[in-house]
Amino acid sequence: MKRAVYYILLILAAFMLQNNVFQAIRWIDVTPNLLLIITFCYGFIRGPVDGMLIGFFSGLLSDLFFGTTIGFYALVYTIIGFTNGEVSRIFYTDFIDMPIVLCLINDLAYSLYVYVFSFLLKGVTNFVFYLKGVILPEMIYTMLITFIVYKPLRNLNGRLEEREKRSAQKFV
Amino acid sequence: MNRRGSFFQPKHLFIALLVICIVLIVFSALSSKVNNAVRSGFNTVLMPMQKGLNRIGSAVSDELSELASLREVQQENEALKEELAFLRQENAKYQLQTAELEKYRELLEMKDQYPDYPTIGAHVIGENPSNWDKTILIDRGSNDGIKENMNVLAQGGLVGVVKSVTANSATVRLIIDQDCQVGAMALLTEEACMVRGDLELFSQGLLMVEKMDKDARIYEDYKIVTSNRSSLYLPGILIGYVRNINVDANSLTKSGELVPVVDFTHLDSVLVITQLKETGN
């Protein structure tokens, strides 16, 4: 229960920060993808169920506020959350390098998804421009933010897990 | 990780969520009514938070730019003081001339630059966080009389069109969005053309003007305004100035670049025209 509230607050905070505060301090002309960060981080730390639920609601939130078709972003975030969860089952490490690598792959996959479905299919074929102008800057910015927030996110999760364990013991 | 018993598998939940997403996509693609109804509910809850945070966002960016420019401002201040003395003198002279001009204007019965469309002011309270779409959120909705397809202006030029409306907010698609096409014409010669958003050109602050006839009398620096023939946009709204016109590869049409009059990177408040275009449908 506490965990659900924590997730909801986290998603809302990330969403609001992304389209307000970070919009105001746009750097290299893009905004970092905070929703993507919390989706894959918790997918990686907690497993596929948490990852895809966070992803689903994050995506839904973006859809409801700004998207043209509801479900477009929800779909890609859900897939990313689930996939990262599955990756962590196979291979988990506490080092910071892994989330950074995951971040790059995830953001690239996300960007390609958006490019293919809302640009390429409408006949916009100039991929190199979008790669240089949007995709790469977003990847770099998102990676930097991941570097900063990954440890705090993991620590918050650790504290939450401890508390859950304690309350479980009380029942026994 | 599998703490909830063997009957429950993440795979099943994953498939369920995927199905929900696809159903949502199909439904919202089919009907914009479903789209707006769902949105309205969510926005009513989140709008107050959004507004508050937007204020924080602006405050942060203001603070940052203030710090950076403090030294510059001090130097500038010195220079400006000198200039001020000079300008005061000039000002007196111009005031006389303005009064004179006012008289001539009345004589000529010059019309306003714009036909008198009824408008309503709104604040921009959010920009699309995605780096791909160009839409903004404004703080007026159906409660203030905003409807879908209403035209939006700012700084004396066309900004975009209302795409969806909730009770207290509306989403505006900017004309720089890749999906946006505006039927337009040259103000002087009334030759038709199309203004289209293009993210690549917009990185240089420009839009695209296309589908002009090869022999159309549209030349460099002509004013481009919305056309009578456009189905969405009211006629006579200024969009910008055309330049770099070249004949296309098909040698039937020509196209060029458009310098918009609106500064899309610093949209703060906008005007919504509450009159809808009569299309006869």
Residues recorded for chain A: 172
**By the CB < 8 Å criterion, does A43 face chain B?**
no
- The whole-number pLDDT of residue B84 equals 87
CA B256 from centre of chain: 20
d(CA A25, CA A142): 14
**Rg, chain B, Cα only:** 24
CA B214 from centre of chain: 29
* C-beta atoms of B10 and A47 within 8 A: yes
What are the chain A neighbours of B28 within 8 Å (beta carbons)?
69-71
Nearest to B57 among A20, A53, A67 (CB): A20
Interface of B with A in 135-164 (CB under 8 A): 135, 137, 163
- The whole-number pLDDT of residue B110 equals 40
Contacts of residue A95, defined as CB under 8 A and 6 or more positions apart, other chains included, come to none
What's the pTM value of the predicted model, to 2 decimals? 0.63
- The whole-number pLDDT of residue A26 equals 64
What is the nearest CA distance from A97 to chain B, expressed in angstroms?
Answer: 23
- The whole-number pLDDT of residue A23 equals 67
Average pLDDT over residues B13-21: 90
What are the chain B neighbours of A74 within 8 Å (beta carbons)?
17, 20-21, 24
Q: Among B5-9, B90-94, B116-120, B194-198, where is mean pLDDT lowest?
A: B5-9
Given a contact cutoff of 8 angstroms between Cβ atoms, the answer to whether A31 and A141 are in contact is yes
- The whole-number pLDDT of residue A172 equals 56
* C-beta atoms of A66 and B129 within 8 A: yes
- The whole-number pLDDT of residue B256 equals 92
Most distant CA atoms of chain B, gap in Å = 89
By the 10 Å C-beta count (0-12 exposed, 13-18 middle, 19+ buried), B148 is classed as middle
* C-beta atoms of B10 and A48 within 8 A: yes
What is the nearest CA distance from B264 to chain A, expressed in angstroms?
Answer: 13
Residue type, B88: R
**By the CB < 8 Å criterion, does A31 face chain B?**
yes
Backbone angles phi, psi at B79, to 5 degrees: -60, -40
* C-beta atoms of B57 and A24 within 8 A: yes
Given a contact cutoff of 8 angstroms between Cβ atoms, the answer to whether B125 and B50 are in contact is yes
Q: What is the pLDDT of residues B59-91, one digit of tens each?
A: 777 777 777 778 788 888 888 888 888 888 888
| Stretch (H or E) spanning A51 | helix A48-66
Provide the 8-state DSSP code for A70. T
- The whole-number pLDDT of residue A13 equals 86
Is residue B211 over pLDDT 50? yes
d(CA A157, CA B218): 63
Give the pLDDT band of residue B7 (cuts 50, 70, 90). low
Interface of B with A in 82-121 (CB under 8 A): none
Q: List the end-to-end C-alpha distance of chain A, in Å, as a whole number.
A: 19
In chain A, what are the domains?
2-162 (1.10.1760.20)
What six digits make up the tokens of A15? 């969403």
Can you say whether the dihedral through the CA atoms of A122, A137, B64, A155 is positive or negative? positive
Q: Would the ipTM clear 0.85, i.e. be above it?
A: no
What is the nearest CA distance from B44 to chain A, expressed in angstroms?
Answer: 11
Interface of A with B in 93-122 (CB under 8 A): 114-115, 118-119, 122
**By the CB < 8 Å criterion, does A5 face chain B?**
no
Q: What is the pLDDT along chain A (172 residues), one digit of tens a residue?
A: 788 888 988 998 888 888 776 766 666 678 888 999 999 999 988 888 999 999 999 998 888 877 778 888 999 999 999 999 988 888 777 776 788 888 999 999 999 998 898 888 877 778 888 888 888 888 988 998 898 888 898 888 888 888 888 887 776 5
Q: What is the pLDDT of residues B20-36, one digit of tens each?
A: 888 888 888 777 776 77
What are the chain B neighbours of A22 within 8 Å (beta carbons)?
57, 129
Phi-psi region for residue B256, left (φ > 0), alpha (ψ -120 to 50) or beta?
beta
Is residue B117 over pLDDT 50? yes
* C-beta atoms of B29 and A114 within 8 A: no
| Residue that is written with structure tokens 């990780």 in the block | B1
Contacts of residue A92, defined as CB under 8 A and 6 or more positions apart, other chains included, come to A44
- The whole-number pLDDT of residue A171 equals 63
Other Cβ atoms within 10 Å of A79 Cβ, number: 23
Q: What angle do CA B272, B139, B163 make, to 5 degrees?
A: 60
Is residue B269 over pLDDT 50? yes
d(CA A146, CA B76): 40
- The whole-number pLDDT of residue B257 equals 93
- The whole-number pLDDT of residue B241 equals 93
* C-beta atoms of B21 and A71 within 8 A: yes
Residue type, A89: R
* C-beta atoms of B129 and A48 within 8 A: no
* C-beta atoms of B14 and A48 within 8 A: yes
| Percent of residues, chain B, with pLDDT higher than 90 | 19
| Stretch (H or E) spanning B14 | helix B10-30
Homologous superfamily, domain B116-281: Rod shape-determining protein MreC, domain 1 (2.40.10.340)
